[in-house]
Amino acid sequence: MRDVNLELGGLLLDMATLVGNSQRAWGYKRAAKAVFRLDRHVTPLIEANTFKAVPGIGPTTDRIARELIYDGKSLLVEEAIRVAGKEGAIATLRGFRQHFISRATMEEVLARRGTPSRGKYRGDFQMHSVWSDGSETLESVVEACLARGYQCAGMTDHSYGLPIAGGMSMAQVIEQHAVIDELNARYQGRFRMFKGIETNIRTDGTVDMEADELHLFEFVVASPHSVLRKTIDQTPRMVGAVSQPGVCILGHPQGRRFNVRPGVAADWDQVFEVAAKREVAIEIDGSWDRQDVHYALAERALQRGCLFALDSDAHAHPELDFCDIAIAHARLAAIPEARIVNYWSDKRFLEWARSAWDR
Footprint of Zn ion (CB under 5 A) = 223
- Whole-angstrom CA distances from 333 to 2, 295, 321, 326, 336 are 16, 5, 20, 11, 9
For residue 21, the minimal CB distance to Zn ion (Å) is 34
* Closer residue to Zn ion, CB minimum distance, 256 or 331: 256
> Which C-beta is closer to Zn ion: that of 43 or that of 223?
223
**Nearer Cβ to Zn ion (8/281):** 281
- Give the whole-angstrom CA distance, residue 304 versus residue 277: 9
> Which lies closer to Zn ion via its Cβ, residue 223 or residue 259?
223
Q: Is 256 exposed, middle or buried (0-12, 13-18, 19+ CB in 10 A)?
A: buried
CB of 200 to Zn ion, least distance (A): 8
- Give the nearer residue to Zn ion in terms of CB position, either 74 or 223: 223
Question: What is the rounded CA–CA span in Å between residue 345 and residue 356?
Answer: 17
Helix, strand or coil, per DSSP, at residue 195: strand
Measured distance CA(77)–CA(188) in Å, rounded: 57
Q: At its nearest, how many Å lie between Zn ion and the CB of residue 309?
A: 13
Q: Which CB sits closer to Zn ion, 5 or 200?
A: 200
Q: What minimum distance in Å lies between the beta carbon of 250 and Zn ion?
A: 11
How near is the Cβ of 249 to Zn ion at its closest, in Å? 11
The C-alpha atoms of residue 87 and residue 29 are separated, in whole angstroms, by 19
The nearest distance, CB 198 to Zn ion, in angstroms, is: 5
Cβ closest to Zn ion, residue 223 vs residue 254: 223
Q: Whose CB is nearest to Zn ion?
A: 223
Which helix (DSSP H) or strand (DSSP E) does residue 250 occupy? strand 247-250
Cα 175 to Cα 179: distance, rounded to the nearest angstrom:
7
We find the least distance from the C-beta atom of residue 251 to Zn ion, in angstroms, to be 6
